Structure 1
Amino acid sequence: MASPSPWPGKIVALLRAGNATAAIAQVRVAPSVKDLRALQKQLAASPVAGRWPAVEAAIAESLEALSAPRLHRSP
């Protein structure tokens, strides 16, 4: 069994430090949908949930982009 990714914890640490801009930049280059969902859970469980609406919007946008089927053309 794989260990959980440290990525969501690092994003939460950025937010606790007050650096929402860096957290949004990291969310936009998120490694996977699994990591974004883990971050969403951590933010919802934190006592400051709802404090960063821009971060929550960036998470929703990234989830939508990563979950959408890829459009491609055959050669």
Structure 2
Amino acid sequence: MARPTAWPDKVIALLRAGNPDAAIAQIKVAPSARELRALEKALAAGQLAGRWKDVDVAIRDTIDALAGPRLHRSP
């Protein structure tokens, strides 16, 4: 069983501190799509979903980017 990470809590702390730009920067360099989905669930649980439109867009865009196929060069 995977251990829950503290990353979503740190991003929510940035949002509650009134710094959505820093939260968006963290979202863009998220470790994985799993953490982003955990962040979405935490925002919904804290009734914060939809409060910051730019944050919601950044989450969706980053999930799409991480879920998409990787481009690579053949040897």
Is TM > 0.5 for Structure 1 vs Structure 2? Answer: yes
Shift of 1:3: 1.5
Equivalent position SS for 2:18 = coil
After the TM superposition, which segments of 4 or more aligned residues of structure 1 sit over 4 Å from their partners? none
Q: Could you tell me how far apart the structure 1 residues matched to 2:33 and 2:49 are?
A: 20
Say which SS state the counterpart of residue 74 (structure 1) adopts.
coil
Structure 1 residue runs of 5 or longer lacking an equivalent are: none
Aligned-residue sequence identity (percent) comes to 61
Q: Please state how far the C-alpha of 1:45 moved relative to its aligned partner.
A: 1.8
SS class of match (2:43): helix
Number of aligned residue pairs: give it.
75
Q: Do structure 1's residue 50 and structure 2's residue 54 form an aligned pair?
A: no
CA RMSD after TM alignment = 1.0
Question: Which position in structure 2 is the counterpart of 1:31?
Answer: 31
Structure 1 position 48, deviation (Å): 2.8
Give the corresponding residue for 1:63. Answer: 63
Unaligned runs of 5+ in 2: none
Query: In the alignment, which residue of structure 1 is the partner of 2:10?
Result: 10
SS at match of 1:12: helix
TM-score by length of 1: 0.93
